[in-house]
Amino acid sequence: METLTRRDVEDLLRGAKIMGTGGGGLASWAKPMIDEVYAGGKEFRLIDPTELPGDRLTFIVATLGGGVPKEIRERLSDIPRMKEKPVFAAVRELARYLGEEPYAFLPSELGPGNTVGPMYVAAMLDKPVVDADCCGRAKPEMSQCLTNVMGIPATPLSIVSPFGDVMVLKHAVDNERAEHIMRQMAVASGGTVGEARTPSKGCDIKRAMVPNSVSKCVRIGRAVHEAVSSGRDPTEAFMKVAGGQKIFEGTVEMFEREEREAFMWGNIYILGVGPFGGSRLRVWYKNEFLVSWRDDKPYAACPDSICILDRASGEGLTNWENDFVRGRRVSVVGVQAAPQWRTEKGLAIFGPSHFGFNVQYTPIESLRI
């Protein structure tokens, strides 16, 4: 078991923001949680997946949600909010229902807010977090999780709103149905809810993990920081650790965004420079970067990761802030998905067709750059 230093956590934020593929929760959500952990004398402890006891429970914990219309937020403005963070109540409710406390917690995805979030819950409850996640990147829908690919149900699960509404879902027809139910709870709650789900024994959950992905984010963040500090190319530093390849470089031409159904939707248009001069890249996102077209022809797509970095600073860019300013110079890097995603079932759950696109998935390494 490894205890992370403050520097480790700062590097983790930097690396997870890149691997969050435009989403994965904001770093600004994570920083107060990090401060609270250290102010309270707590620690972030990582346990390697190989050390996870086979007969003990792990929970996936997260904050689920996204953008909702203004009228919904206004309708909720007079309802008192609970003092406790909803995710802690969700953990307590699920443990009470099961009659068993979790041994460790597991991030559902990579991203500054949504990786640090489970780590924060674990630290405050004096438990470890598994050095792994169940996606290898960030994704918009709860059902887009390797537990779903491997046939591990999300239920029973608990959902708690910021106002203290509690729901325990004992069973769902499938993980996608569970996602829809939870998403509607999030919409009715102003955009976010705390969740605890997929209670699984260590022997079962290991097959649905991307192992050592949290510590990999630490290495990515450190490599990018050191590259910038020494005047080297941060994109090259990122690719060396992540195993990715540059698929485009250019300047931001236009950024479109719409909030609906507790998601953020839109397109980013990038005009190519250097070797990509004369080309135009369109990246479509639903919370995260998912499908792209180069000169109107299908290009990189989920489940592979499309990571967009500031060319100079190596900072991962997000759809949730004003990052895509016209003229900003960016690098676009593709990173291969976990092998489980590239199966027939994995592509049905998290390939372009799931989002309604008649696009043939082409592995990143097979693209004609």
Domains in the chain, number: 2
Question: For residue 67, what pLDDT is reported?
Answer: 66
Q: Is residue 224 part of a domain?
A: no
Question: For residue 259, what pLDDT is reported?
Answer: 84
Q: Is residue 226 part of a domain?
A: no
Q: Is residue 225 part of a domain?
A: no
Q: Is residue 220 part of a domain?
A: no
Please indicate, yes or no, whether residues 88 and 176 belong to a single structural domain of this protein.
Answer: yes
Please indicate, yes or no, whether residues 202 and 245 belong to a single structural domain of this protein.
Answer: no
Query: For 312-338, how does the pLDDT look when each residue is reduced to its tens digit (9 = 90+)?
Result: 999 999 999 999 999 999 999 999 999
Question: For residue 192, what pLDDT is reported?
Answer: 86
Question: For residue 99, what pLDDT is reported?
Answer: 97
Please indicate, yes or no, whether residues 198 and 249 belong to a single structural domain of this protein.
Answer: no
Residues 22 and 140: their CA atoms lie apart, in Å, by 10
Query: For 70-102, how does the pLDDT look when each residue is reduced to its tens digit (9 = 90+)?
Result: 888 888 888 999 999 999 999 999 999 999 999
- pTM to 2 decimals? 0.93
Question: For residue 66, what pLDDT is reported?
Answer: 62
SS (H, E, C) the chain: CEECCHHHHHHHHHHHHHHCCCCCCCHHHHHHHHHHHHHCCCCCEEECHHHCCCCCEEEEEEEEECCCCHHHHHHCCCCCCCCCCHHHHHHHHHHHHHCCCCCEEECCCCCHHHHHHHHHHHHHCCCCEECEECCCCCCCCCCCCHHHHCCCCCCCEEEECCCCCEEEECCCCCHHHHHHHHHHHHHHCCCEEEEEEEEEEHHHHHHHCEECHHHHHHHHHHHHHHHHHCCCCHHHHHHHHHCCEEEEEEEEEEECCEEECCEEEEEEEEEECHHHCCCEEEEEEECEEEEEEECCEEEEECCCEEEEEECCCCCECCCCCCCCCCCCEEEEEEECCCHHHHCHHHHHHHCHHHHCCCCCCCCHHHCCC
Please indicate, yes or no, whether residues 196 and 108 belong to a single structural domain of this protein.
Answer: yes
Q: Is residue 227 part of a domain?
A: no
Which residues of the chain fall short of a pLDDT of 70?
A: 66-67
Please indicate, yes or no, whether residues 256 and 200 belong to a single structural domain of this protein.
Answer: no
Of 144, 176, 211, which residue sits at a domain end? 211
Q: Is residue 243 part of a domain?
A: yes
Residue 350: CATH number of its domain: 2.40.390.10
Of 162, 178, 211, which residue sits at a domain end? 211
Q: Is residue 57 part of a domain?
A: yes
Question: For residue 45, what pLDDT is reported?
Answer: 98
Please indicate, yes or no, whether residues 191 and 238 belong to a single structural domain of this protein.
Answer: no
Please indicate, yes or no, whether residues 282 and 188 belong to a single structural domain of this protein.
Answer: no
Q: 12 lies in which domain range?
A: 2-211
Please indicate, yes or no, whether residues 201 and 242 belong to a single structural domain of this protein.
Answer: no
Please indicate, yes or no, whether residues 240 and 206 belong to a single structural domain of this protein.
Answer: no
Please indicate, yes or no, whether residues 353 and 253 belong to a single structural domain of this protein.
Answer: yes
Q: Is residue 249 part of a domain?
A: yes
Residue 33: CATH number of its domain: 3.40.1610.10
Please indicate, yes or no, whether residues 192 and 308 belong to a single structural domain of this protein.
Answer: no
Question: For residue 68, what pLDDT is reported?
Answer: 73
Burial of residue 168 (number of CB atoms within 10 Å: 0-12, 13-18, 19+):
middle
Question: For residue 155, what pLDDT is reported?
Answer: 97
Please indicate, yes or no, whether residues 200 and 239 belong to a single structural domain of this protein.
Answer: no
